[in-house]
Amino acid sequence: MLTKRIIPCLDVKEGRVVKGVQFVNLIDAGDPVELAAFYDREGADELVFLDISASHEGRQTMIDVVERVASQLAIPFTVGGGINSLEDMKRVLRAGADKVSVNTAALLRPELITEGADYFGSQCIVTAIDAKYDETLGSWRVYTHGGRKPTEWEVTAWAKEAVKRGSGEILLTSMDQDGEKSGFNLKLTKAVSEAVTVPVIASGGAGNAQHFYEAFTEGKADAGLAASIFHYKETSVREVKRELKGKGMVIR
């Protein structure tokens, strides 16, 4: 069995970490550099940094903040938000990222995934998918621009397409569950995990260690990502890992 990973996420807007519910009502959650150093000490397996308004505002990722966060880390570091080209990927990786996350730009131009995978290797390319249940579709619809714009893509179809084009990992966020702390969307996570051959990171809805356990067992996820429960010290990476090990999960 692959080792399951616990990944804190820094959603960054205007240089500060923020957190909301279902992608709205954002409130300040702290300094990204301080939080990065804290999570590195806490035993997080990786860290994800998402410049959440870059695509919507039509600008590049905040490289200076990425550099300062990277300087605090000895764990793998994924950066996303406003990455529209191979040059953007190079810039972020030079700043200290280990992987790049693409979302809106990949949906607008799927060749971006292939270009990145060909140049850096699939292990470097994470496709982030923001999905929301759609009654008319009878499944989950993929959204762009930080959850603002619906696309024609159904979630498993887009996940398969991203992997076919070279993505080495899927970061899957349930917009319906985001910030609710009621648990990951297990049906969505399982559907995507079973549709692709690469690791899937479950995101959106973590409230406690049990939710991670359910994401790994019922949802078939390879990693669990959370933000607010870690930022606001409702639980810790250490505590989640301790509980999961107690349930027999293979954890680093």
For the chain, give every domain's residue range. Answer: 5-246
Contact 115, 93 (CB under 8 A): no
Residue length, the chain? Answer: 252
- Tens digit of pLDDT for each residue in 119-155? 999 999 999 999 999 999 999 999 998 889 999 999 9
- In angstroms, the Cα distances linking 80 to 9, 101, 187, 245 are 11, 4, 25, 30
Residue with tokens 């973590």: 206
Check pLDDT > 90 for residue 187.
yes
Check pLDDT > 70 for residue 17.
yes
State the Cα–Cα distance between residues 193 and 187, nearest whole angstrom: 10
Within its chain, how far is the Cα of 126 from the centroid? 8
Please report, for the chain, how many H helices and E strands are present, in that order. Answer: 11, 12
Q: Which helix (H) or strand (E) holds 64?
A: helix 63-70
Sign of CA dihedral 99, 77, 108, 174: positive
State the Cα–Cα distance between residues 110 and 84, nearest whole angstrom: 11
Q: Which residue has the higher pLDDT, 178 or 75?
A: 75
Q: Which residues are catalytic?
A: 11, 130
- Tens digit of pLDDT for each residue in 219-237? 999 999 999 899 989 999 9
Check pLDDT > 80 for residue 160.
yes
State the Cα–Cα distance between residues 81 and 31, nearest whole angstrom: 18
| C-alpha neighbours within 13 Å on the C-beta side of residue 26 | 15
Burial class (CB in 10 A: 0-12, 13-18, 19+), 102: buried
5-246, what's its fold?
Answer: TIM Barrel (3.20.20)
State the Cα–Cα distance between residues 37 and 175, nearest whole angstrom: 28
